[in-house]
Amino acid sequence: GAVVSQHPSRVICKSGTSVKIECRSLDFQATTMFWYRQFPKKSLMLMATSNEGSKATYEQGVEKDKFLINHASLTLSTLTVTSAHPEDSSFYICSALGLAEPSNEQFFGPGTRLTVL
Amino acid sequence: GDSVTQMEGPVTLSEEAFLTINCTYTATGYPSLFWYVQYPGEGLQLLLKATKADDKGSNKGFEATYRKETTSFHLEKGSVQVSDSAVYFCALSDQSGYALNFGKGTSLLVTP
């Protein structure tokens, strides 16, 4: 089946530093990837839609200068949290949209736990 | 805007018990409806889906029927197993089929 990986699985950083999270589709190509944020006991919140070769589309209220998204190839999207602060601590999950039918199925990565001290 | 409401957990059941997790939605148009499952330490996996009214999605003994009249998509299983312990998310996608709107998730614990 379609597999999506994320790296790292968990990261701890100091306030003010930047952290990059990678999302890879391992056995399929994905022109579209999504980034979600999950708070404890809360649902997943869509942050942005990442399209290969073009700028990401951010959801309302998500700071594009803080959460930089790059989708440079059909198998890799990266999320960089710039100048991280403790309130950015969260569980970040990516998903990739399969090219094959059913075309609206998203395949999810295992998530990255970010802790900002 | 579109939204999904699902029952709060955690839900604790004995093995072989009947499971129902309620999910209702608010949406304009005709969304597709999904149930995702997240096992401990793993990513979300699509459990089942339905794309139009009266469709029934089923997988691994789980079922859910798209009820437009009650705007519901309740998840059911006749006999749960310990291995079903996970967090279950109800979700809908808009007519573009891309953006997913998730409920808050319901944690299920099945005890032997």
pLDDT, mean of residues B6-11:
89
Beta bridge partners of B92: B33, B101
Residues of B in contact with A108 (CB under 8 A): 36, 43-45
The reported pLDDT for the residue numbered A42 is 75
Query: Which chain B residue has its CA at the smallest distance from A49's CA?
Result: B99
Residues of B in contact with A41 (CB under 8 A): 104-105
User: If you search the block for the tokens 């029934």, which residue do you land on?
Assistant: B56
Please, which pLDDT band fits residue A100 given cuts at 50, 70 and 90?
A: low
Contact A46 B4 (CB under 8 A): no
pLDDT tens-digit map of A12-44:
999 999 999 999 999 888 888 999 999 877 788
Best probe of the A interface among B44, B94, B98, B100, by most A CBs < 10 A, is: B44
The reported pLDDT for the residue numbered A101 is 56
Contact B44 A34 (CB under 8 A): no
HSE, CB side, 13 Å, CA atoms: give it for residue A21: 32
Does A54 score more than 90 pLDDT?
no
Rounded mean pLDDT of chain B? 92
Q: Quick check: A94 and A30 in contact, CB under 8 A?
A: no
Contacts for B55 with CB less than 8 Å, ≥ 6 apart: B65, B66
pLDDT tens-digit map of B19-46:
999 999 999 888 999 999 999 878 889 9
The reported pLDDT for the residue numbered B96 is 63
DSSP calls for B72-88:
B--EEESS--GGG-EEE
The reported pLDDT for the residue numbered B43 is 82
Query: What span, in angstroms and rounded, lies between the C-alpha atoms of B12 and A50?
Result: 38
Best probe of the B interface among A3, A4, A99, A106, by most B CBs < 10 A, is: A106
Please, which pLDDT band fits residue B11 given cuts at 50, 70 and 90?
A: very high
Does A103 score more than 60 pLDDT?
no
**A88–chain B nearest CA distance, Å:** 19
Does B97 score more than 70 pLDDT?
no
pLDDT tens-digit map of B64-84:
999 999 999 999 999 999 999
CA angle, corner A92, sides to B58 and B27, nearest 5?
Answer: 50
Contacts for B56 with CB less than 8 Å, ≥ 6 apart: B50, B63, B64, B65, B66
Residues of A in contact with B36 (CB under 8 A): 108
Rounded mean pLDDT of chain A? 90
Helix, strand, or coil (residue A76): strand
Query: Which chain A residue has its CA at the smallest distance from B105's CA?
Result: A43
A98 touches chain B (CB under 8 A): no
